[in-house]
Chains A and B, each alone.
Chain A
Amino acid sequence: MPPHDVDASFVALPLRRLADAALQRARDFGVEHADFRMERLRSQDLRLRDGALEGAHDGEQLGFAVRVIVDGTWGFSSSVELSPESAIRTTEEAVRVAQVSAAISSERIELADEPVYDNVAWVSAYDIDPLSVPVGDKVDLLGEWSRRLLAAGSVRHVSATLEQVVEAKFYADLAGTMTTQQRVRLHPALEAHGSDEATGRFDSMRTIAPPVGRGWEYLSDGRHDWDDELAKIPDLLAEKLSVKPVDSGIYDLVIDPSNLWLTIHESIGHATELDRALGYEANYAGTSFATWDKLNTLTYGSGAMHVTGDRTVEHGLATIGYDDEGVQAQSWDIVRDGILVGYQLDRRMAAMKGLGRSNGCAFADSPGHIPIQRMANVSLQPADDGPDTDGLISSVENGIYVVGDRSWSIDMQRFNFQFTGQRFYRILNGRLAGQVRDLAYQATTTEFWGSMEAVGGPQTWVLGGAFNCGKAQPGQVAPVSHGCPAALFRNVRILNTQSEAGR
């Protein structure tokens, strides 16, 4: 299918007219920098319960923001009223905010240089705009999938959700860059709930199909084998409800990409955001142990560890053509041979640290929010001739194989973390030996990545991700993908969550 254009209804908005009005007004004030960003975020959330539609909501956010630098100080204002008068007024407000802020600002804001991109467009790779598909068709499909699960004896209830977003952005700045972009993403998920009559324990099993930067075809063209995944869930749930709890202790872990992406997100993705390392998130999301002085010296993990940042991988949730400061998307190394070699940047931090160009991680989640440094697709690279998952399992005598993400938590400096999963299998003498339950793994970031003995080959690599990465005040959510192979970790601490609860 040929690439799409940006939706005509977005292009038809008074993008240039408002940008011209805002940027001209900014020029009048003699600002050092001004940018204008108009965004339209269309979304639809569907929620089914036991195959029936529980709730549906269609949303559209449309508005624009003006960001200026006046005498070295930021000013930002936004509006939802799309007129040149409003663009001028909003620019004046942004200037006023900068003036009010000047008294309590002691650092001069400067931005790293970036080439000018004059009137460029970019659209993500997808076939079918999910918002063009009738709601009834989506409810029918998710309802049919739900009823398949409900038909199994082990399944008492089923929930199904489908989040869909079509994001269109227009950006123009005083330097002359002007970009118009559109991207599409969606996240289908089904979860089966059951209980064990004898013990009264309940549990659930969720699909592990990741959210993706694709269109409706993700559910309909066989690219992901939904039939196979759904067919297995009832028995996986029944087994999980019937098996024994894990004995807490030290085990080797083989972690599936469906779980490992989230550990990468929390312990590498966030820890290598330079704004966190510099303290900008100290009051909220937190800082990082990977401080600036450790660049090129910190041993992050074993020599098997090669982590990249990119905003370019096809179907990635953080993938874009140009970021919200007009910087073209790139890819770069973050950890190479186990050593910290790079951070995620925006233009201000790149200039402050003399790093040259920004690597393009500025992102705002809505027209009303200021762009901040947000996460690129941070991915663990496979070994070119690495083993498959069975190969990794075969080198474990006494261990656990972890599949699917569930609970996650990590501290403010990204040292101490604890994760659970959808399902856990005992590994005995190189083979899977059935599920165990009530398990969490707990570790410290550099010890954990230092214990990574091997990564799987490209055949094990999966692009996982999330829609809902939270950061900043006011709170912003960002979508991001993380690719990784299966990987083998030695001597990781396993907790029994029932004993943690004092049961």
Chain B
Amino acid sequence: MTSTTPHDLVEAGLAASQADDCIVTVTRSSSANLRWANNTLTTNGLMSGSEISVISFVDGGQGVASAALSRSAVTVDDVRDLVAAADAAARAAGPAEDAAPLVEADQSDTWDAPPEPTSIGVFDTFAPALGDAFGRARSADRLLYGYVEHTVDTVYLGSSRGVRLRHVQPTGHVGITAKDAALTRSAWVGQATRDFTDVDALVLDAELERRLGWAERVVALPAGRYDTVLPPTAVADLMIYAYWTSAARDAHEGQTVYSRPGGGTRVGERLSSRPVTVYSDPAYPGLEAAPFVTASASSSLSSVFDNGLELGRTDWIADGTLAALGQTRHSAQLTDLEVTPLIDNLVVEVAGAEQSLEQIVSGVERGLLLTCLWYIREVDPQTLLLTGLTRDGVYLVENGEVTGGVNNFRFNESPIDLLDRFDVASATVPSFSREWGDYFPRTATAALRVPDFNMSSVSQAN
């Protein structure tokens, strides 16, 4: 992109800083996407970005103050300007509540390697196959709508305390919606990928064809509580939200489902009688995520002082018991709990569950099989009651077989309650959340069968 390499930009920034301490992060990103509707491409794009984030720290005698600035920037002059602005802002700021000693020297072996790019060429196999899928869809009166994106972010984090960490994060996903020509039936498939070598447009199209076929028989069902199979995608839809609301400080201050009435958190409390474990692990195969903290601003879930902190497997719910909440070192002190910052992936496992989704469905006498959930919003933080919709395929299961397509529903449910109410789970498999996958694509989840899922009303959407 320019002659100055990212690691040299970091060094230039650190050398220019007049503050007591400084952290400079350079993120180079490269992204390509294709979007289509009605069996034809609608938009596309290439993006390349370079963001420099500078955090300056100044001990004004009363405590350490910090200031965090970031900017799209590519030159040494840019980074020097930004460092000067951050130094000045830190001198003008009051002491930070979350002040803590910065992480000491830690160096990635690949520190001075160049950023890794992507290009429109990442779709060289996928795009022609998509063209073939359009042809198949046209000849079968089927309409395809969808999106593919591939992004590679390369992060360089350096500090005045000798931290030099680099992380390459490839992220990709595909989602395809199919409708019949009359627009009365709809199906969806989605998948996360690191490099698109494992994505086959024709396989995905065949699955969409099968699902539209399931819905040829239309069954209208009223609102009510149903024996419902949530596939791994729908479990990811719900559990990602439960993860994002897990800030320990918010819980400690009596604002979330993880708050103990009367004060403090529910850590240590059994949330589920089932052997369910919810965890994050930066080294989880296929879901590899940054093994260190990057924080461009402080909040209840992140602290700029924690930049570079090492991350390892963290159990949030261990064998049914709430084991940890999202922490900064500051909130860990407030709550007297372990330092467990959030990690950029999430796994939901049920001990002993080895069935496939198909095997679970085959055990249902009369119930619903969902595809995914949509427009999920928090109704009540205390119970973590969430509302939302079923989307693009609700199927009636009778005597273990899918026998038709059902109307959509609005649900009102709490994921924390569901973890205690499910009666059967599948083995954990890679999943892609329909609702949040564009922003949180790294999940592996079990399917859950819930005997009394609350479908609050019927939605006419299809």
Contact = CB atoms under 8 A, between A and B. Distances in A.
Interface of A: 45, 47, 49, 52-63, 73-81, 93-94, 96-98, 100-101, 103-107, 134-136, 139, 156-157, 193, 195, 197, 200-202, 204, 278-284, 286-287, 289, 367-370, 372, 407-416, 418, 420, 438, 440, 442, 444, 473-475, 493, 495, 497-498, 500-503
Interface stretch (B236-244, B335-343, B350-358, B384-392): B384-392
A412 B120 contact: no
Nearest to A100: B120
A81 B37 contact: no
Interface string B400-415: 0000000010101110
Interface in B38-58: 38-50
B147 A284 contact: yes
B410 A442 contact: yes
A193 B410 contact: no
B379 interface: yes
Contacts of B131: 103-104
A58 B68 contact: yes
A197 B263 CA distance: 10
Contacts of A156: 253-254
Nearest to B411: A500
A104 B40 contact: yes
Contacts of B72: 60-63, 80, 367
Contact of A56 (B68, B143, B456): B68
Contacts of A500: 379, 385, 412, 454, 456
Contacts of A78: 45-48
Contact of A474 (B45, B259, B380): B45
B97 A107 contact: no
Nearest to B69: A58
A55 B38 contact: no
B177 A202 contact: no
B44 A75 contact: yes
B2 interface: yes
B375 A409 contact: yes
B160 interface: no
Contact of B41 (A104, A281, A407, A438): A104
Given A282-B179, A502-B417, 4 more contacts: A53-B96, A104-B36, A157-B255, A474-B438
B458 interface: yes
Contacts of A498: 380, 383
B70 A418 contact: no
B398 to A, nearest CB: 26
B374 interface: yes
A289 B460 contact: yes
Nearest to B32: A97
B47 A55 contact: no
A473 B35 contact: yes
Given A135-B89, A368-B49, A502-B417, A282 B145 contact: yes
Interface residues of B, number: 100
B379 A440 contact: yes
A81 B408 CA distance: 47
B44 A101 contact: yes
A64 to B, nearest CB: 11
B161 interface: no
B459 A59 contact: no
Listed from nearest, the 10 A-B pairs whose CB atoms lie closest are A200-B261, A57-B297, A55-B298, A413-B461, A500-B412, A282-B145, A416-B459, A411-B461, A473-B147, A60-B71
A502 B412 CA distance: 9
B460 A412 contact: no
A280 B34 contact: no
A201 B381 CA distance: 10
A413 B71 contact: no
Given A56-B68, A157-B253, A107 B408 contact: no
B388 to A, nearest CB: 6
Contact of B389 (A139, A280, A416, A493): A416
B77 to A, nearest CB: 12
B43 A412 contact: no
Contacts of B179: 279, 282
A365 to B, nearest CB: 12
Contact of A412 (B297, B374, B378): B374
A202 B254 contact: yes
Given A80-B72, A195-B254, A495-B456, A280 B297 contact: no
A334 B48 CA distance: 38
A502 B454 contact: yes
Contacts of B281: none
A287 B37 CA distance: 11
Contacts of B462: 413
Contact of A76 (B45, B375, B461): B45
Contacts of A200: 261-262
A97 B45 contact: yes
Interface string B272-306: 00000000000000000000000011111000100
B44 A74 contact: yes
A281 B44 CA distance: 14
B166 to A, nearest CB: 20
Contacts of B417: 501-502
Contact of B120 (A96, A370, A474): A96
A418 B414 CA distance: 16
A442 B438 contact: no
Contacts of B36: 104
B49 A63 contact: yes
Contacts of B439: 475
Contact of A202 (B2, B259, B461): B259
16 contacts: A61-B72, A80-B73, A94-B46, A104-B130, A104-B134, A106-B40, A136-B93, A193-B255, A283-B188, A368-B47, A411-B391, A412-B375, A416-B410, A420-B379, A473-B438, A498-B380
A283 B37 contact: yes
A411 B389 contact: yes
B227 interface: no
Contacts of A201: 382
Contacts of B391: 411-412
B379 A407 contact: yes
Q: Which of B35, B69, B73, B123 has the most CB of A within 10 A?
A: B35
A391 to B, nearest CB: 31
Given A105-B40, A106-B39, A442-B457, A409 B389 contact: yes
A80 B37 contact: no
Contacts of A495: 412, 456
Contacts of B143: 279
